[in-house]
Amino acid sequence: MKASKETITRFVTTLFTFLLYAQAVQAHVHKGEAVSFLSGLKHPISGLDHVVAMIAVGLWGAQLGAPAIWVLPVAFPMVMAMGGMLGLLGVPLPGMEIGIAASAILLGAAVMMELRPPLALAAGLVGFFAIFHGDAHGSELPAGENGLLYSIGFVMATGCLHGVGISIGLVHRWNWGQRALRIAGAAIALAGMFFMWKVFA
């Protein structure tokens, strides 16, 4: 018990160190401008299509259990950042919006049917769709004064969305939870179909 108290004290001390962080003074910030940690934090949660796909990754990881529960959320931000880098460099990715909508459909369907493919295949599928999400974010980002804080906020928000999915997915241990997750997967797939319809409408 003593050791855990010490660990908590260290953690709280570290956390308070971060409270010392000075944020940039934001006068007349344009919408979406990359000026601070908070604007980066807000970016991934500003689009429902991104939010549902990222939560689906967490839900699927929770259904698959270890090691997928952490491999998928580790793989997604890294590959998404790679896509974001391509977007920032202006590299065009054909069918970007279709890829984002398809990610919600397929990941939602995977959760609904509780698919259990080999880990490499699951990680590959998640990574493949992460490129579309990253490229979409990257190509939308206007120039700003503090790309680093923005990037950190952006990545943290993405990771936290996976965390939300994993936390919800922990209900998988109960029978009613398994059914609820499948229903949630179906809802995500339906949302994906709506996004796909919007792309072609």
Partner 1 sequence: MTCALRHRRSVTLAIALLCLLLPVRAEAHLPTIGLGPVYDGIFHLLLSPEDLIPAIALALLAGQRGAGSSRRVLWILPIAWLAGGFTGMFVGTPRGSAVTCFSFLLLGSLIAANAKLFAPLTTALAAMLGFFHGYLNGSGINRFNDGAYFLLGLALAVFVVVALFTSFVIPLRRHWALIVVRVAGSWIAASGLLMLGWALR
- Residues engaged in binding partner 1 (CB under 8 A): 3, 7, 10-11, 13-14, 17, 19-22, 25, 34, 66, 70, 73-75, 77-78, 80-82, 84-90, 138, 143, 147-149, 151-152, 154-156, 158-159
- Return d(Cα 190, Cα 201) in angstroms, integer: 16
Least Å distance, CB 101 to partner 1, is 23
Least Å distance, CB 61 to partner 1, is 11
CB-nearer residue toward partner 1: 17 or 175: 17
For 81, residues 6+ apart whose C-beta sits below 8 A from its C-beta are 134, 151, 155
Output b/e per residue, 161-194; b: 16+ Cβ within 10 A.
Answer: bbeebbebbebbeeeeeeeebbebbeebbebbeb
What is the end-to-end Cα distance of the chain in Å, rounded?
Answer: 60
CB-nearer residue toward partner 1: 124 or 159: 159
CB-nearer residue toward partner 1: 39 or 101: 39
Least Å distance, CB 73 to partner 1, is 7
CB-nearer residue toward partner 1: 52 or 68: 68
CB-nearer residue toward partner 1: 59 or 189: 59
CB-nearer residue toward partner 1: 40 or 99: 40
**Three-class DSSP category at 142:** coil
- Return d(Cα 34, Cα 32) in angstroms, integer: 6
Structure tokens at 66: 């270890």
Q: Which ranges of the chain does DSSP label H, i.e. alpha helix? A: 2-19, 37-42, 48-64, 68-88, 96-112, 119-140, 147-169, 175-200
Least Å distance, CB 95 to partner 1, is 21
**Three-class DSSP category at 104:** helix
CA-closest candidate to residue 191, choices 96, 68, 56, 85: 56
Least Å distance, CB 199 to partner 1, is 25
Least Å distance, CB 99 to partner 1, is 19
